[in-house]
Structure 1
Amino acid sequence: MFEFKDPKQLKKFTKFYQHVINEIDIGVHVIDESGKTVIYNQKMMEIEAMHVEDVINKSLRDVFMFYEDQESTLLQALDEGKTTKNKKQTYFNNKGQEITTINNTHPIIENGKVIGAIEIAKDITKLEKLIRENRAKTDTLYTFNSIIGESGPIKEVIEHAKRATRTSSSVLIIGETGTGKELFAQSIHHSSERQSKPFISQNCAALPESLIEGLLFGTKKGAFTGATERPGLFEQANGGTILLDEINSLSVGLQAKLLRVIQEKNLRRVGDTKDTPIDVRIIATMNEDPITAIEEGRLRNDLYYRLSVVSLHIPSLRKRKGDIPLLVNTFIHKFNRMFQMDVRKIDEEILRLFYEYDWPGNVRELEHVIEGAMNLMIDEDQIDFVHLPSHFRNKTQFKDEIPQMFQPSNKKSDYKPFTKPLKQQLEEFEEYYIERVLEQHNNNVTQASKQLGLSRQSLQYRIKKFH
């Protein structure tokens, strides 16, 4: 123990001590003999998402909650003089938020009497959450029947994906956010010989760099403070398939380790000295052009060539707009079941707006728009413009471009904007627009339908409709 006779020395030491305790990258929590908190450092505040005022000088039992069959390791150290090392503990802060830590806890003893207890904690809350999410995902079953679409672009990629079910080669699925890349990955797995084995999915962009390696490849007990014997996702997927979503989000160093696992078909847990053989099919996804990612240093070219034995390019919704009515009806039926509603259709004018929209969020965005619209309905059986979510109705594209669409054309000099019913106005513009596109392509229906985002049959129907 230090003894300071000079108050200035004591004050200076206290400042140094406070600075050090708050700078160390590990949680420190100390209670006195009455169970009240006397030291609570900055890292512990971050781990437990609390302010020092919420905890300091307050009884531990009054601030935190524990499961019925668990006791605080800190209180065990105080009440029983018990030391615990590398023990996982899950509890709740004063807001009911779940916290999971690995703790080293020690009683503080003076003259043979316990006068307090100290806990050194390492946060694994995010890791535990990710593991639970992966387990929950295995309960979701998607097959090729889950993929909605009849347009040429989507049918072509479905056919290529079905062919990939015959082997265990790596697959790289490329597509914008919201196009349904995981649906394809699960469909491939559930139609392959590995269907009875695990399917493990992990979004690489959701992982902190400090957790990803241990989560993917597993950890050896004692590899670092708080490390436990834990198999990684690759071992959990053994015999089955692992989906690595947004593979380009992994650091280049981890990409090199992943490449080694693919090439050698074995892995080494963090902190271990021996290799474990694995038999896992790897499906990876990207939401950007892989060549661009390679040129800009986000993706190793050797890993790309290993993963892209089979490459699937999922079309964006703006390239398969002919599927919009089918998708809309599918989502209406889905949310009718979920919300116990009886919505039967969507207004045709809204469908025309949907055709004009670019859908940057793709199928997922369309699904959210339908869900949002049905949340605003009471007993109506048709989705109208007023039901669309406000953020969608206020899109710049709808506010600024649609009025311009109905300006007079050279062809119809007697055309007077904003004087006719909306349905008639839209039909007249649709007729005019289709005529101009057909003229542009010398009446080639196939080329015109591609530009319009319609199926050939759908365009032919409109040609007949408008004579």
Structure 2
Amino acid sequence: MTHRADYKLLFESMLTHLKQGIIIVDTNANVVYYNEPVTQIGGIGSKEAIGKNILEIFPNLTPQTSTFYRVLKTGKPLIDYVQTYTNFVGNQVTTLTSTLPLLKGNKIIGAFELYRDVATVKQLSDRIVSLQKELFNKASDREAQNGNKASYTFNDLIYKSDVMQRLIIKAKKAANSSSPILVYGETGTGKELLVQAIHNSNPLRKKKPFIAQNCAALPKTLLEGILFGTTEGSFTGAKDRKGLFELANGGTLFLDEINSMDTELQAKLLRALQDGVIRRIGGAKTVTVDVRVIASTNIRPAEAVKKKLMRQDLYYRLNVISLNIPPLRERKEDIIPLVEYFISFYNTKLGRNVKGISAEVTDMFLNYSWPGNVRELRSAIESAMNFTEDDIIRKKDIPFKESGVFRQEDRDPFISKQGDYLPPLNDAVANFEKNLILEAINKTGGNYSEAARLLKTPRQTLHNKIKKYGISTKSDDINTIS
């Protein structure tokens, strides 16, 4: 065979087994080459398709809606275009297509299209539209309320320790700036509360929107549209919608767990930070925005960069101001003030009249490592106040056996002192093991492979024990700083 024939055979063999199809048309949009992928998107064979006009194969398309007709008319490519249509056998399909003109010199001699079935992309597109409508409506509500959604100020933060006092002094100075901020704190340390306080302390931005978005909550396809907005026609169902950058214009955009953001999207975020302009998905024009971006990570930023979870250039741009919220175990002086606050809060919410915690529980709390930080402390107080029959929270009220809140080693001092509680050995060992795993997961920012290495145990063994104990690292955000 000739080299040309070899390449043709190789090309056709590859296309036969791929989930991606290719169509080539002439200047009249008549098919001259057709390769149907294994997923049978078009519903027609190659021999039958040759010679047919593209509108015969996809009968509900028109010259106005066909990507081929548009590219043949404009000479401009359409990349990653999502469209839904009826195929040759009458089935509705959704495809992601890239259609490009074929040029000989400056003359268009045809067009070709690569396409694949992406029903899931259609679902994501619908979610983008739905979320954008929700955000747009919320933004309208915020504008009616002077654009301020941030509820907390520095006066709402509960602390007594010197390390927190130094942090708050630094944060108050940062509040007067417009520079980006990178906040680091373990899960449950109340990062958003600190960020809200910073926003509300800025005399200009506090009158403008505060918008928070958890980057781990949405896949890249959704998050890009939510952040930067969309242009009508950029995908099926898309409308001209503002993204979070435009909605937060003049105010603050808080990007939580930015280490979970796709690195390609981080590059687009970096450009927005550097230039102060954004471009909507599918849009051609840029939009100038004035937004202060504050981002946070739940693992150390340097570690995120090292593990390639955060682009180094984005890290340098965000880390102009760095704030580190210490874990609760490193500032035990804050535990009792927080306990008093939570008791007061839940007295009102639950209609109780609890006055405090016993000396025994105080010692227990002060000797516990609190891997879940203030969020865990809050949950412990809320649980105890639902079940205590006294006006003082005692050791028996603390959720120990059921949820494994406290590690056995943290209770040992009370076993030896009081002698009133000695759990079965199997329960004690299981509880200790569960909490040790929880602490390892917390220390590694939810990275199970790193947690397994820290515990010096095979990853599969760790996975089995996580499943055995029903461990979950997902929790609702807390409304108090830690």
TM-score by length of 1: 0.60
8 Å CA contact retained: 2:167, 2:324: yes
Q: 1:301 aligns with which of 286, 302, 312?
A: 312
Partner of 1:364: 375
1:402 corresponds to: 411
Q: How far is the alpha carbon of 1:103 from its aligned partner?
A: 11
| 1:375 is aligned to 2:386 | yes
Superimposed CA distance per residue, residues 203-259 of structure 1 (whole angstroms, 9 cap, x where no aligned partner): 001111111111100011111222211100000000111001011111111111111
Counterpart residue number, 1:55:
none
- CA shift digits 1:17-52 (9 cap, x unpaired): 99758x9xxxxxxxxxxxxxxxxxxxxxxxxxxxxx
The answer on whether the counterparts of 2:150 and 2:196 sit within 8 Å (CA) in structure 1 is no
- Aligned residue for 1:235? 246
Change in CA separation of 1:103 and 1:246 when aligned onto 2, cut-off 3 Å: same
The answer as to whether partners of 2:357 and 2:392 remain within 8 angstroms in 1 is: yes
Residue 390 of structure 1 and its aligned partner are, at CA, apart by: 3.8
Q: How does 1:39-438 map to 2 (within 5 A)?
A: 122-123=122-123, 124-125=126-127, 128=130, 132=134, 139-193=149-203, 194-378=205-389, 380-390=390-400, 394-395=404-405, 397-398=407-408, 400=409, 402-403=411-412
How many pairs were matched up? 313
Unaligned runs of 5+ in 2: 1-35, 44-64, 66-81, 95-118, 143-147, 423-482
Preserved contact between residue 238 and residue 278 of structure 1 (Cα < 8 Å): yes
**Partner of 1:283: helix, strand, or coil?**
strand
Alpha-carbon contact 1:174-1:287 (below 8 Å) kept: yes
State how far apart, in whole Å, the 1-side matches of 2:287 and 2:391 are.
58
Which protein shows a greater Rg?
Answer: 1
Report the Cα offset of residue 421 of structure 1.
Answer: 11
Aligned residue for 1:187, secondary structure, equals: helix
Counterpart CA distance in 1 for 2:236 and 2:303 is 39
The question of whether the paired residues in 1 share the 8 Å contact of 2:129 and 2:239 is answered with no
CA contact (8 A) 1:245 1:285 kept: yes
Secondary structure of the corresponding residue to residue 206 of structure 2:
coil
Q: C-alpha offsets along residues 374-401 of structure 1, whole Å, 9 cap, x if unaligned?
A: 12235x2111122222457745622x45
Aligned counterpart, 1:67: none
| Contact 2:128 2:225 survives alignment (8 Å) | no
Looking at structure 1, the residues matched to 226 and 263 of structure 2 have their Cα atoms a distance apart, in angstroms, of 17
| Structure 2 Cα separation of the partners of residues 405 and 346 of structure 1 | 15
* CA positional deviation for 1:405: 7.4
- The alpha-carbon deviation at position 298 of structure 1 amounts to 1.1
Q: 1:173 to 1:17 in 2, by over 3 A?
A: closer
Decide whether the 8 Å contact of 2:188 with 2:373 is kept in 1: yes
Displacement of 1:404:
6.6
TM-score (structure 2 length as normaliser): 0.58
The amino acid across from 1:403 in the alignment is D
Unaligned runs of at least 5 residues, structure 1: 1-15, 24-84, 86-101, 109-115, 408-416, 423-467
Following the alignment from structure 1 to structure 2, what is the Cα–Cα distance between the partners of residues 145 and 167? 20
Q: Which residue of 2 aligns with 1:32?
A: none
The structure with higher relative contact order (CA 8 Å, sep 6+) is 2
Matches of 1:189 and 1:322, distance apart in 2: 27
What does the per-residue CA deviation read over 1:124-161, in whole Å, with 9 as the maximum and x for residues that have no partner? 34763587477699645010011100110111100000
Contact 1:103 1:226 in 2 (8 A): no
Identity over aligned pairs, percent: 44
Hey, what's the Cα distance between the residues in 1 that align with 2:160 and 2:197?
17
* C-alpha separation in 2, matches of 1:187 and 1:139: 11
- In structure 2, distance between residues paired with 1:284 and 1:376: 38
